[in-house]
């Protein structure tokens, strides 16, 4: 019995050196991940080298004017009626106004310009709110416009508000469209610049800006229930300026500085005629309708049912009609 018991004990399997096995598997996983990282990095660097875009593209439409030595791209619709200047929002361009611009031209001479770092306007490395406001005011002076009404969409609300504060005698009034001009989500800064030095970010950016599905999805996501002004041509026009080398150069600065904004006290100090137009389904992308109205002194307001953040694309006819009424209510003499 003792011999049998001893034999049974000696027959049990002896556990292997588990720490050694764990280390081997960890090394294998580490080597695999390092190999994948190396291959992805090399592939990304090669792809970036083969797809390096031109610094600028020729604009498919519109005109250019020099403002303090900066080449500013703009589009114009109509030849009669009081002047209206349209200022786009974050990651937008004059393409954002291409549907509603011709509708407004029935009663106004309409201009839409690209801000620095956006569209086809030359990028100078400058991207502060005073820089952009001086650009818009310089545009008004360069074209000899007689006190136009400025309409700022989203980020553009802060720009037109800054113009009204710095140069009130040059404008008839301002309209905040889907933008309260306050810091986006309360943040006064953007993201760090170092991720934009990674080759993968450049690769992802180029893929995204060259894939029309991305442009279509972004526009439709911000349209709201209706998107009557959308077309595949609009999506392509929206993405094209983002494919320029200058746009890649501007992106880190724009992302780092965040959405241009004004402090509430500065908005309350705007003394020219004011108005608000807002998409009924835009609850956060442009900030707060209530904040915009309160800081502007509860001015005349139009809310477009079924429209999201891109209210001028969601329902361009309604947007144009509402804007006509708001502009008509602004006194001509300042």
Whether residue 9 lies inside any domain: the answer is no
CA 238 to chain CA mean position, Å: 11
Strand pairing partners for 152?
A: 87, 176
Q: pTM of the entire structure?
A: 0.89
Whether residue 240 lies inside any domain: the answer is yes
Per the CB < 8 A criterion, the answer to whether 161 and 176 are in contact is yes
Please list, in sequence order, all residues whose beta carbon lies within 8 angstroms of the beta carbon of residue 55, skipping any fewer than 6 positions away: 244, 245, 246, 249
Whether residue 277 lies inside any domain: the answer is yes
Say how many Å lie between the first and final Cα of the chain, rounded. 114
Maximum Cα interatomic distance, the chain, rounded to a whole number of Å: 117
Per the CB < 8 A criterion, the answer to whether 96 and 153 are in contact is yes
Q: Is 229 helix (H, G, I), strand (E, B) or coil?
A: coil
The number of distinct structural domains making up the chain is 1
Whether residue 24 lies inside any domain: the answer is no
CA 147 to chain CA mean position, Å: 27
Whether residue 26 lies inside any domain: the answer is no
Strand pairing partners for 84?
A: 110, 149
Whether residue 289 lies inside any domain: the answer is yes
What residues make up the domain containing 96? Answer: 63-328
Strands 108-113 and 173-177: unpaired
Sequential pLDDT tens for the chain (334 residues): 444 444 444 455 555 556 778 888 888 888 888 888 788 888 888 878 888 999 999 999 999 999 999 999 999 999 889 999 999 999 999 999 999 999 999 999 999 999 999 999 999 888 899 999 999 999 999 999 999 999 999 999 999 999 999 999 999 999 999 999 998 765 556 667 777 788 888 999 999 999 989 999 999 999 999 999 999 999 999 999 999 999 999 988 888 777 899 999 999 999 999 999 999 999 988 899 999 999 999 999 999 999 999 999 999 999 999 999 999 999 986 4
Whether residue 333 lies inside any domain: the answer is no
CATH number at residue 218: 3.40.50.1820
Question: What are the backbone dihedrals phi and psi of residue 279, each rounded to the nearest 5 degrees, phi first?
Answer: -75, 130
Distances (CA, A) of 94 to 16, 97, 186: 69, 6, 27
Whether residue 215 lies inside any domain: the answer is yes
């Amino acid at each position: 019995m003792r011999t049998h018991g001893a034999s049974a004990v000696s027959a049990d399997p002896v556990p292997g050196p588990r720490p050694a096995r764990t280390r081997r598997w960890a090394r294998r996983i580490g080597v695999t991940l390092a190999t994948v990282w190396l291959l992805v990095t090399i592939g990304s660097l090669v792809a970036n080298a083969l797809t390096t875009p031109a610094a600028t593209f020729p604009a498919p439409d519109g005109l250019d004017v020099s403002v303090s030595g900066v080449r500013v791209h703009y589009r114009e619709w109509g030849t009669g009626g009081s002047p209206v200047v349209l200022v786009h929002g974050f990651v937008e361009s004059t393409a954002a106004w291409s549907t509603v611009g011709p509708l407004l031209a029935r009663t106004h001479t309409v201009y839409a310009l690209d801000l620095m770092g956006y569209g086809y306007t030359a990028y100078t490395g400058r991207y502060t709110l005073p820089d952009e406001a001086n650009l818009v005011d310089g545009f008004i002076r360069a074209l000899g416009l007689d006190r136009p009404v400025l309409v700022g969409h989203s980020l553009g609300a802060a720009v037109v508000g800054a113009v009204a504060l710095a140069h009130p005698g040059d404008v008839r009034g301002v309209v905040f469209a889907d933008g309260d001009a306050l810091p986006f989500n309360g943040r006064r800064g953007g993201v760090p610049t170092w991720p934009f030095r990674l080759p993968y970010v450049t690769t992802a950016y180029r893929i995204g800006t060259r894939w029309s599905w991305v442009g279509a999805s972004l526009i439709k996501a911000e349209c709201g229930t209706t998107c009557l002004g959308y077309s595949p041509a609009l999506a392509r026009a929206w993405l094209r300026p983002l494919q320029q080398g200058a746009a890649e150069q501007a992106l880190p600065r724009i992302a780092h500085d965040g959405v241009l904004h004004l402090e509430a006290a500065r908005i309350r100090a705007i003394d020219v005629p004011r108005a608000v137009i807002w998409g009924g389904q835009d609850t956060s992308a442009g900030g707060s309708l209530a904040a915009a109205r309160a800081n502007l002194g509860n001015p005349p307001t139009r809310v477009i049912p079924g429209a999201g953040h891109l209210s001028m694309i969601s329902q361009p006819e309604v947007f144009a009609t509402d804007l006509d009424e708001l502009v008509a209510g602004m006194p001509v003499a300042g």
